[in-house]
Amino acid sequence: MSSSHGQESAGRACAWPEFDVRRFGAVGDGRSLATAAINQALLAAEAAGGGTVVVPAGDYLCHSIQLRSHVTLHLGAGATLIAADPPSPGEAGGYDAPEEGPVNLYQDFGHSRFRNSLIWGEHLDGVTIEGPGCIYGRGLSRGNGRKAMPVGVVGPQPPGHLPDVLEADGPVPSEGEPVTSGPFGYPHPSDTLPRGVGNKAIALRECRRVLVRDVTILHGGHFAVLATGCDHVTLDHLLIDTNRDGIDIDGCANVRISRCSVNSPWDDAICVKTSFGLGHLRPVEAVTISDCFVSGFVEGTLLDGTRRPEVRHRGGPIGRIKLGTEGSGGFRTIAISNCVFDSCRGLALEQVDGAGLEQVVVTNLTMRQVMNAPIFIRLGGRLRAPGAETPGRAGRIAISQVCAHLAVPDHGIFIAGLAGHPVTDVHLDGIQIFACGGAPASTVNREVAEMVRDYPEPYLFGPLPAWGLYVRHAARIRVRNLSLHGDRPDPRPAVHLEDVDASDVTGLRVSGDAGVARWTLIQVRGLRVRDSDGWTDEGPPVP
């Protein structure tokens, strides 16, 4: 064991025995497969009753690594696990085969299978992956095809939304998706990967007491970190710069995500969801997300420090924090605080699969270069879950102290339920929206489709007929101290309320070149407004 590694070991003060993967045959030259050696070290640590498997400095080319209970996988300083290329079609070897399971009718293949990953574990207790080393998913698939393009390389994409461009008169996607198999389009033939192909950097299924910390993940495939049906999960101080999802928490309980930086231009950065991937429904609950940074820069440029923004697809980079889209088991008791969004989409809280989304508290967010609605709350009726027949619930949500700067013109705050199924009991307090403004005249009085069964994405609704606050099919919405500022003239009103009951607005201020303080009210009942621009004590909005 080298002196440098000895110093590192002393710093960790490990109480368990250590197993250096070089003793089991790993070379770390970036050319020789180290899969067998690392797996043997993990088995030896498990046989010893627990321990730490140490991967010292070097480049270790691997296929699937299977974690073990009571074992820590320690990636030392200068150590990189590199996902090897899958074998050619028809050849043996490669990543572990996806496990047998129920037909995935309600979610994609990536959510339903776990073993076809670079690092995976299931039914484990007390498992840790720690840095300061790196995981590089060079040979992983994004979920379609045997291997993703290199870091930062993407295929041709349709035009996206730049901050000074509004595709208001362009085509709006039609409702629904083409169905190729089951009632929701799954299993989809292009979504299913063959034996030997890997699509996730880290996948954990039904594990307890999980800790992942201090690790850097580059180019993580379909998911950089996927935890499904796990309890007592801590993800701390991770740096993830990836080509699809960053962190996905699916049907887990007691989860702590903190001090993580996640760049994911092509999918969500941190996503909390609850799918049918385990073959049964399970809520996600008791989750905190705090002190995190999320972004949609070009892949690789968060890691190298250049942080290069570039819009390559419609709707702009993603890279946000989201609850949803999969929501079949329901969301409850979730807190998000002290997070920064940069060059990505805004906060999204979505329940479209028939369960509930309740008791969510969000505070202290700052956003810059927001590519769509800074705050999006959606209750829909996609109902992609077994037995789901009616829309669920979205309510008891409190969002406070949010500052969003350079928000694209299409959307401000966007809250939308369904007729007969309102979003309820949402409190917004201390929010500042600095919008780019500049929407064309064609957006005034634009009719917004209900999109009952569609994918709940703000840009699919097209530009809204209000630039600051749009609320439809809602009740008991309380807005306090909302500041709306527009950088360029915008012909739309600042506020649009439609089919809204028993709600309050206090302290609304509108300023800037887009400072149109007009209101649109359609089927609004029991509204109380105080100390707000565009409103008089007599009641009706000022024309």
Q: What are phi and psi of 224, to 5 degrees?
A: -75, -45
DSSP H or E stretch at residue 43: helix 35-47
Strand partners, 217: 135, 240
Distances, alpha carbon 183 to alpha carbons 104, 108, 174, 386, 460, in Å = 11, 13, 18, 11, 21
Q: How far apart are CA 39 and CA 42, in angstroms?
A: 5
pLDDT at 541: 59
Phi-psi region of 374 (alpha: psi -120 to 50; beta: other; left: phi over 0): alpha
For residue 459, give the nearest of 405, 404, 411 by alpha carbon. 411
Task: Determine the residue type at 441.
Answer: A
CA distance 428 to 347: 13
Q: What is the dihedral of CA 483, 161, 320, 379, to 10 degrees?
A: 70
Half-sphere exposure of 282 (CA within 13 A, CB side): 20
**Domain spanning 29-87+94-152+202-345: CATH 3.40.50.1010:** no
DSSP one-letter string for 322-348: EEEEEETT-EEEEEEEEEEEEEE--EE
Specify whether the CB–CB gap between 309 and 248 falls below 8 A: no
Per-residue pLDDT of the chain (543 residues; tens, 9 = 90+): 333 444 444 445 455 689 999 999 999 999 999 999 999 999 999 999 999 999 999 999 999 999 999 999 999 999 999 999 999 998 999 999 999 877 778 888 889 999 999 999 999 999 999 999 999 999 999 988 899 999 988 776 545 433 333 332 233 333 334 434 566 777 676 678 889 999 999 999 999 999 999 999 999 999 999 999 999 999 999 999 999 999 999 999 999 999 999 999 999 999 999 999 999 999 999 999 999 999 999 999 999 999 999 887 778 999 999 999 999 999 999 999 999 999 999 999 999 999 999 999 999 999 999 999 999 999 999 999 999 999 999 999 999 999 999 999 999 999 999 999 999 999 999 999 999 999 999 999 899 999 999 999 999 999 999 999 999 999 999 999 999 999 999 999 999 999 999 999 999 999 987 767 789 999 999 999 999 999 986 665 554
- Across the strands, what pairs with 196? 95
d(CA 260, CA 321): 12
Q: Which pTM value belongs to this model?
A: 0.92
Task: Give SS3 for 355.
Answer: coil
Q: So what's the pLDDT on residue 48?
A: 97
HSE-CB at 317 with a 13 A cutoff on CA atoms is: 31
Q: Measured between alpha carbons, how far is 315 from 408 in angstroms, rounded to an integer?
A: 10
Query: What pLDDT shows up at residue 542?
Result: 54
How confident is the model at residue 311, as a pLDDT?
83
SS3 labels along 460-515: HHCCCCCCCEEEEEEEEEEEEEEEEEECCCCCCCCEEEEEEECCEEECCEEEECCC
pLDDT of 181: 57
Contact in structure between 72 and 46 (CB atoms under 8 Å): no
The pLDDT of residue 103 is 73
| CA-based nearest residue to 324, from 474, 219, 465, 454 | 454
Q: What share of the chain is helix, strand, coil (3-state, %, to 5)?
A: 10, 40, 50
Amino acid 162: pLDDT: 37
CB neighbourhood size of 90 (10 A) = 7
- Contacts (Cβ under 8 Å, ≥6 apart) of 235: 212, 213, 225, 247, 255, 256, 257, 258, 260
Q: Encode burial over 153-167: b for 16+ CB neighbours within 10 A, e otherwise.
A: ebeeeeebbebeebb
pLDDT digits (tens, 9 = 90+) for 321-344: 999 999 999 999 999 999 999 999
CB 149 within 8 A of CB 422: no
CA dist 345 and 353 (Å) reads 22
What three-state secondary structure class fits 118? coil
3-state secondary structure of 9: helix
Q: Where are the domains positioned within the chain?
A: 29-87+94-152+202-345, 351-543
